Structure 1
Amino acid sequence: MTTQQASTRREPLRAWRQFHSRDIDEARSLVAQKFCDHRLEPAGQARGFGTRHNHVCGQHLSLNYLSYGSTVQIDPGELQDFYLVQVPVSGHAHVANGAETEESDCRVATVLNPTRATRMTWHADCRMLLMQIDRKALHEIAERAAGLTLAEAVIFNTAVPVSKGPLHRWARQFAACVHATDAQAGFGTWSRLQQSLIEEQLILGFLTNQQSNICHLLSPRTAAGSSHQIRRARDFIHTHAGDPVTVLEIAAAAGCSIRSLQTGFRRTFGLTPVAYLRDLRLDLAHYLLLSRPPETPVSSIAYDCGFSHLGRFSQLYRDRFGELPSTTCAARRKPEKPAGSPLARYSSSV
């Protein structure tokens, strides 16, 4: 067996080859059929250009392998309907999503948010595993995880550090899914229920571990083991977080006395109902400040989240998040870029 034959055999998702084309217009058109329309241009000479795209579809996400063979510039604008997690198997890429730009390699993957314009340069050595996630499905899982209605889209930090920590474990799960599929024991072979469970696990794992505008909303607020009354009270607070709500109304919704409500909340959450509601409103304000256009008045968001005194809101917000509301929309800290990758096993074979 030649080296080239061995390389082809070990190419991720090779059994689901969509096409292999040396024509840049054909490649752009065929890739667009699975993702979205985009501009694709060679950066300099197109010597070595040859697009390979492997694609296997699930219920709400798909697994993909994509390489171009030469340096290309890709401009899809806003993706609109899906998120795209891009994990380099080898090589590197320059990725801009909205105002964030990242240099991506086997240590740092990227995620493209559908509501932000994307511009990328994939270098000639770049080979990617891609997870395409349906935007609606991700949003529904995010709402269930947060226990809240989310009025704005989930927005992730662009950089996805996959070489250690929780995202390293998530990337290993992604890699295991690709390996299982390659072995005819993954996508395309699972039952509908098993496929649904695996996809939800992958999406929820990414939501839980990747920095975003909702990660602070995913902290435990469950009332597991508590009485039905406390769970009803919690659900009432979450439903009416932005409304004027009194302790009496919460107790009435729960079907218990105010004293029982206070005691149950302290035992379950370590907070009074009023403190729980206050923290939830602050978390919602943080989410909206990260999500809405930067020119949105802070006062508008404060009022939407149930705060009527702006000075008090600013002080409570700073106590909880360590900064004033007006500074929250500033550029977020970039994740560190450590070494190593759970997908490095592919780098020598594709």
Structure 2
Amino acid sequence: MLRDALLYDALGKPIPQRHKVLSTDWDEIRDWSSRVYMPYRVSPTGSVIRPRSTMHSAMVGRITVTRFAYGIPVNVTDWAQDAGNAVVLTTIGGAARHAVTARHHEDTGIDESFVADCSRTDYLVDFDPDHLQLNLTIPHAVLEQVCQDWFGFVPDNALWQYKCRIGGRNSSWLALMTYLVRSIAEAPDRLARDRVGRHLEQSICIHLLNEWSARAGIDLDQPRSDVAPRHVRAAERYMAAHAASLPAMTEVARAAGTSLRSLTGAFRRFRGYTPSAFLREQRLQGVRAALRAAAPGTTVSAIANAWGYINLGEFARSYRGRFGELPSETLAR
């Protein structure tokens, strides 16, 4: 059923699309993928560089559902964070390899899914020559709204930055994807705006959040009082706003209205890491964003110095360990 997703309606007739469904033109494919997913960088990884892409899409509430393949092996990275979208990629043909960290990856075969919130974290995936994907593009704001409505709070980046495999053969998530595809086949033009589509949108988001949070070790049903206290959130806001100036932890604690010992203990309990680790991540993400947006002629050292890095060798090692490439490689792109 998933292999033919978005191709035919319940009567066996082709579901009409408002764009070409087959293309060998990189510009056409890039234009379509930028609209249904977000801008990103794609590179062929084999000897064949001309794509043979298949492209189908449908809207279910505010979720974009796509059936997509490049027809050749490719690497996809540099997803635009400012687009504000999460993606759930279900492999329905071939295989995909998803980077979880710079040194660890997860492979998905047929009927397995992978989730990454591209609005909150970097994401890199390699597709093999036979790949075919059934993908969901979900605005991060929609996921936050569902969390607030159903669980009473919005999780922090401990969830949103966690990338993982979900579902699999005989799983309830795969059954939900099958139901989604059947619903589109029965009403391909209505689910973007009617009550059934909004109900299905909510069901998908709730199920996804439960699967995702379970793998991230986060209990969404915890009492509201167990959510990180105000001084933790205040410290995070302060560090995010002042990351480039490298504030001392005592300064952060003072800005949050608590002692350094209390702040460190609260971070370990509610976040699972220290305030220093949070600040380090903010600085590295800030440098990466600056490298990507740099004007011609800008140097790595100038950007690193602007973010408080003095020892460029140590900075380069930290950057490569976090993102799997040197700062100069990010700047060159």
TM-score of the two chains, using structure 1 as the length reference: 0.60
Q: Does 1:20 align with 2:22?
A: yes
1:310 and 2:303 aligned? no
State which of 74, 92, 95 in structure 2 corresponds to 1:92. Answer: 95
8 Å contact from structure 2 (residues 89, 113) kept in 1: no
User: Contact 1:95 / 1:110 at 8 angstroms: preserved in 2?
Assistant: no
Query: Structure 2: which amino acid aligns with 1:140?
Result: Q
2 CA distance for matches of 1:162 and 1:135? 20
Give the structure 1 partner of residue 116 of structure 2: 111
Native 8 Å contact 2:117 2:160 kept in 1: no
Structural mapping, 1:114-263, within 5 Å? 114-148=119-153, 155-163=160-168, 168-182=171-185, 184-185=186-187, 188=190, 192-211=194-213, 216=218, 218-221=220-223
Label 1:286 to 1:125 Cα distance change in 2 as closer, same or farther (>3 A). farther
- Normalized against structure 2, the TM-score is what? 0.62
Q: In the TM superposition, what whole-angstrom CA distance separates every residue of 1:207-257 from its partner, at most 9, and x where no partner exists?
A: 2220389973622437xxxxxxxxxxxxxxxxxxxxxxxxxxxxxxxxxxx
- Report the Cα distance in structure 2 between the residues aligned to 1:213 and 1:285, rounded to whole angstroms: 23
Partners of 1:82 and 1:134 within 8 A in 2: yes
Q: Is contact 2:23-2:52 (8 Å) kept? A: yes
**Which range moved further: 46-55 or 128-137?**
46-55
| 1:77 aligned partner | 79
Shift of 1:103: 3.3
How much has 1:23 moved relative to structure 2? 2.4
- Listed as ranges, the gaps of 5+ residues in structure 2 are 8-14, 282-333
- How many residues were matched structurally? 264
In structure 1, C-alpha distance between the alignment counterparts of 2:127 and 2:141, rounded to whole Å:
28
> In the alignment, which residue of structure 2 is the partner of 1:280?
227
Structure 1 residue 112 displacement after superposition: 4.0
Structure 1 residues without counterparts, runs of 5 or longer: 1-6, 223-275, 332-350
Shift of 1:155: 1.1
Cα gap change, 1:111/1:313 in structure 2, threshold over 3 Å: closer, same or farther? closer
**Residue aligned with 1:125, SS:** coil
Distance 2:156 2:145 in 1: 11
Q: Could you give the per-residue CA deviations for residues 273-312 of structure 1, whole angstroms, max 9, x where no partner exists?
A: xxx4xx43459849987xx769786667766776x23334
- Tell me which of 61, 65, 68 is aligned to 1:59: 61
Matched AA of 1:88: T
Question: For residues 67 and 284 of structure 1, do their structure 2 counterparts lie closer, same or farther at Cα, with a shift above 3 Å needed?
Answer: farther
Q: Which residue of 1 is the match for residue 323 of structure 2? A: none
| Cα distance in 2, alignment partners of residues 66 and 100 from structure 1 | 27
User: Computing the radius of gyration over CA atoms, which structure comes out larger, 1 or 2?
Assistant: 1
CA offset at residue 105 of structure 1? 1.4
8 Å CA contact 2:55–2:69 kept in 1: the answer is: yes
Report if the CA contact (8 A) 2:100-2:163 is conserved.
Answer: yes
Alignment-derived partner of residue 274 in structure 2: 325
Q: Note if contact 1:91-1:123 (Cα within 8 Å) is conserved in structure 2.
A: yes
Label 1:316 to 1:132 Cα distance change in 2 as closer, same or farther (>3 A): closer
